[in-house]
Amino acid sequence: MAGRNGPVTSWGVLVVALGASLWAVDAPIRKPLTELLPATSIVLAEHLFLALYSLPMVVVARRVFSQFDARGWLALVVIAWGGSGLATVLFTQAFKIGNPTTVILLQKLQPLIAVLLAGLILKERLPRLYWPCFAVALVGAYLVSFGRQSLEPLWRLPQDRVLTAVFAVGAAMLWGGSTVFGRYLLHGVSFPTLAAARFLLALPFLVGLAAVQGTLGTTFQVGLEQEPVRLFLLALIPGLAAMLVYYLGLSRTRASYATLAELSFPAMAVVVNWFALGARVDAVQVLGFVLLWSAITALTWIPSPRPAAEAQPVTT
């Protein structure tokens, strides 16, 4: 059986696990930055460093982008502005407000959102048990968000936890949507090239957002002058390296196996955040994550129905 972009290999699952594990170092780097900089400034500086990779890649692959039609460019803008720009800002803001481990655990909603949007946008048929799995996942996400306070009335829930959940789920929704549009674009573009275009095209959006918020000067005066090493490591390790390693492994393994390997991300994040940041989760949150992950795993192992309509390639 073939992976997404190549044959299945014995090492594919291990590479997926390695890439997912690298994401776990995000919180210890990103969380301290939120005490010095606005979320938009952090993400903008991160993308400025990512441009060192993106610009040469886009220049080399410029002929590929010249073949894009209007739908292809629209999909790329959605991925760049929504997935790489706004989603990362929401993710960072959630870190600033609440428990980073809670934010990370809520990102497991992404596959469910991606499957739903694939049905709406790419006209793929939903698996038979999608909605029961979705309901279980929502219960799990609620428990992850509020832990022992889950039985409290909604109006008595702590505002910081509510905002953390809203920002984290918002990021998950945008990243889930980016997965769908990315699948559409990957008919004609390699993943490293698409990632480069995504990072580069996000820059104008982030510059505009920072200008509107009045934080553009802060990005350079505080961020790039006082914390260049931390921002560079944020862009390099959990940003670029983790993503490229993860997708290398994903292209060489079954999606169902990859889902299991991805557990290395939340598992490592819980441990790293506990020791590095003192961020702990209670037993109810652990139960919620088990429900959330079980729903995702069940959905992954259910045989998918044939698509109602195949997505058309972006390139002409």
- Please tell me the predicted confidence (pLDDT) of residue 6: 58
Across 75-79, 98-102, 251-255, 267-271, least confident range: 251-255
In single-letter form, the type of residue at position 246 comes to Y
Please give the Cα distance from 205 to 202 (Å, whole number): 5
Whether residue 280 has pLDDT greater than 50: yes
| String of DSSP letters for 257-287 | HHHHHTTHHHHHHHHHHHHHH-----HHHHH
pLDDT beyond 50 at 176: yes
- Report yes or no: 129 and 140 within 8 Å, Cβ to Cβ: no
pTM of the model: 0.88
- Reference 297, options 266, 276, 268; nearest CA is 266
